[in-house]
A and B are shown apart, each in its own frame.
Chain A
Amino acid sequence: MPGISKKKILSYVVNLAIVLLLYVVISTLISRRIINSYYSDIINMMLINIILAVSLNLVTGLLGQLVLGHAGFMLVGAYAAALFTLNVKLPLTVSFPIALIIGGLAAALSGLIIGVPALRLRGDYLAIITLGFGEIIRVIANNLTITNGAKGLYGIESLNSRHNLTGMFTYIFFIAVFVIFLNFTFGTSRHGRAVIAIREDEIAAEASGINTTYYKLLAFILAAFIAGVAGGLYAHQIGLIDPSKFDFNRSTEILVMVVLGGMGSITGSIISAGVLTILPEALRGFSNYRMLLYSIVLICVMLFRPTGLLGRSEFSLMGTIEKIRNAVGGKKKKTAAKKEG
C-alpha cells in the first residue's frame, strides 16, 4: 500500500497483540473466578467510563468545546437499547449488538437535533445550552410512559450468566479498544485535523476552506453516538436504569475525567477514567469522607496541574520503546566515546 511505512505496520501489529493478550489474560482470570464478579463488574464499569470519557474527548479535547450534557446522550442510548432488548423476542446474543447500534443511532440523532441549533453558540454558552438539553432529556424520560417515568426500566438482561462470566466483559472490552483506536485515527485524519483547526481558531479555519458547521456537527454526533453505545452497555451491565442516573452530576463526572487526564490527551482520559472508577470503590471503607477526599484531590490537581495530568501528550508504546532504546543506545555511544577519548 502506498504511504504506509513498515514502522506503522509494526506498531499496529504490536498494539493489537498487546490488546489481545490483555483480553485473554483478564477474561481467563474472570472465567476461572480468580477475579470475582464484584471486581469484574468494576472492570466493566471502568471500561464504560473510559468509553464515555474518550467520546467526550472528541468534543472537548479535539473540538475544544465544553459540553455539560453528555449524560443526556448516554441516557438516550441506554433507554433505546434497553427498550429494544426488553421488547424484542430474540435471544440476547442476537438482540444485544443490534440494541447497541440502535442506542448509538438514537443518541446520534439527538446529537443532531441538539447540535444544529446549539453549535451556533460558542464557549460557555454552548456549555450552558448542552446542560439545558441534558436536563430536558432527563425530565422527558421522567415523564414518558414508555420510559416508565421516574421508576425507570428494570429486568434488563445481562449477557453474563453462570456459564458465561465474560459475556459483558468481551463486548465492553472490545468496544472500548475500538473507541480508543477510533479517537486516535479520527484525530489524525483530515476530518480530525479540520476539527482541531476549529479549536485553534475558528475564523482562520473557515478562511482555510473548512466548513466549520459541518465539522463541528460531525465531532458532536460522533461523540453522541459513542456515548449512546456506552449507555446501551451500561444499561445491560447494571440491569436497571432510571433518569436520575443520567443527571447533571453524571455529566460533570465524565467531564472531570477528561479534564483531569489532560484535555485532548486520550491516554490521559483513559487513566483518569480508570482511576476515578476504582478510587471510590477502594475508599468504600471511608464512605463518609470519600466524596470529600475526591473533591479535594480534584481541586488540588487543577491548582497544581491546570492542564490536567498529561496535558496534551499521549503515551505510545512504540514511542516509549524508541525512547528507551535511544536512551540505552545513547549511553552506549557515550561510553564508547569515553573509551575512545
Chain B
Amino acid sequence: MSVLETKNLGIAFGGLQALQDVHFSIEEGEIVGLIGPNGAGKTTVFNLLTDVYIPTEGVIELDGKNIVGKKTYQITQNGIARTFQNIRLFKDISVIDNVKIAMNYQMKYSTLSGIFRLPSYWKEEKAVTDRAHELLKVFRLDEHADDLAKNLPYGQQRKLEIARALAANPRVLLLDEPAAGMNPTETRELMETISLIRDKFKVAILLIEHDMNFVMGICEHIVVLDYGRIIAEGSAEEVRNNPKVIAAYLGGE
C-alpha cells in the first residue's frame, strides 16, 4: 500500500503555474527519485508536502489521510520529515541537541517538570539521550556529539541533517539534494547510508538529486518533472530511455 500519494497537486504563484497535475505515489520502504532540470519545481513539491507553500489544488495523502491544511510541524509529527537544499542546522548548538530537538514532540514531561527537575525529566532525558547517541552512531557522528553543529565539516553537516530528520520518526523522508557538494567517495558512502537507513528505519525515501549516477544507482522508482508537470516515471532503465526525458535535459524537440 502506498504511504504517500499526491493527486492533481498544483500551485500557482500569482499567474505563474509552478506545478500542475502532479500525481505520484510512494510505497512503504521505497526509494523514489524526483529529478528534472533546474526550475522544474522539484523543491516546490517538497515545500507543498511540508506546508511551506499551500497547494492551490489537489490533495496529499499520508496513509490515506489528506494532510493539506495541516501545519508544517503537524505534518512532521504525522510522519513526513525533510532536509533542505541549503543545509539548515541549528548551528550554534551541539550535534546531539540538534537531534534531540527533533525528538521533542515524542517527549512528554511538562514545563514545570523540566524547570523543577522532577523524576520524569531525568527519565525521559536519559532515554532521549541514549536514542540520540544510537542514531548518531549510524551516521558515525557519535564522537562529535558535543561539538557545535557549525564546526562539522560540510559532508557531516549533510549527514547530521538527515539524522535530525530521522529523529522525528518519519514514515517518509524527503531529502533535498543530499549529495550536493560531495566528492565521489562521499557520494558513494552516502548511497550506502541511505540504503541502510531505509532498511534499518523502515522509512520510505523521496529524494531530489542532480547526480544521475546517484539517482540511477539507488532509486527503485524515478519521477521526472519538467515545467511543473510530470513528464515521465518508472524504473531507472525506463526513464533513461524515455525520449521526453532526453529532450527535457538536452533541450530542443
Contact = CB atoms under 8 A, between A and B. Distances in A.
Interface of A: 1-4, 182, 185-186, 189-194, 196-197, 200-201, 203-212, 218, 312
B102 A185 contact: no
Given A3-B123, A190-B104, A193-B97, A208 B114 contact: no
B82 A207 contact: yes
Given A196-B93, A201-B88, A204-B90, A210 B101 contact: yes
B115 A205 contact: no
Given A2-B122, A193-B97, A193-B104, 12 more contacts: A3-B125, A186-B111, A190-B100, A190-B128, A197-B90, A201-B91, A207-B50, A207-B76, A209-B104, A209-B168, A210-B101, A211-B71
B101 A197 contact: yes
A212 B100 CA distance: 16
A4 B117 CA distance: 10
Given A205-B101, A207-B82, A209-B168, A192 B125 contact: no
A1 B122 contact: yes
Contacts of B119: 1
A2 B128 CA distance: 13
Closest 7 CB pairs of A and B: A189-B114, A3-B126, A3-B122, A200-B90, A209-B76, A204-B88, A208-B102
18 contacts: A1-B123, A182-B115, A186-B111, A186-B114, A193-B97, A193-B104, A196-B90, A196-B101, A200-B93, A201-B88, A203-B52, A207-B84, A208-B101, A208-B102, A208-B164, A208-B165, A209-B104, A209-B168
A201 B50 CA distance: 16
A210 B168 CA distance: 10
Contacts of B97: 193, 196
A191 B90 contact: no
A166 B176 CA distance: 62
B72 interface: yes
B101 A189 contact: no
Contact of B105 (A192, A201, A210): A210
A208 B100 CA distance: 10
B168 to A, nearest CB: 5
B114 A192 contact: yes
Given A2-B123, A185-B114, A207 B81 contact: yes
Contacts of B122: 1-4
Interface residues of B, number: 42
A186 B166 CA distance: 25
Interface in B164-180: 164-165, 167-168
Given A207-B72, A208-B102, A200 B91 contact: yes
A235 B68 CA distance: 51
B126 A194 contact: no
A300 to B, nearest CB: 26
Contacts of A212: 73
A207 B170 CA distance: 11
Contact of B102 (A2, A209, A218): A209
B73 A210 contact: yes
B13 interface: no
A308 to B, nearest CB: 14
Nearest to A208: B102
Contacts of A191: 111, 114
Contacts of A185: 114-117
Contacts of B44: none
B79 to A, nearest CB: 10
Contacts of A1: 119, 122-123
A211 B73 contact: yes
Contacts of A2: 122-123, 126
A134 B145 CA distance: 42
Interface in B46-84: 50, 52, 71-73, 76-77, 81-82, 84
B101 A194 contact: yes
B24 interface: no
Nearest to B88: A204
B218 interface: no
B139 interface: no
A196 B105 CA distance: 15
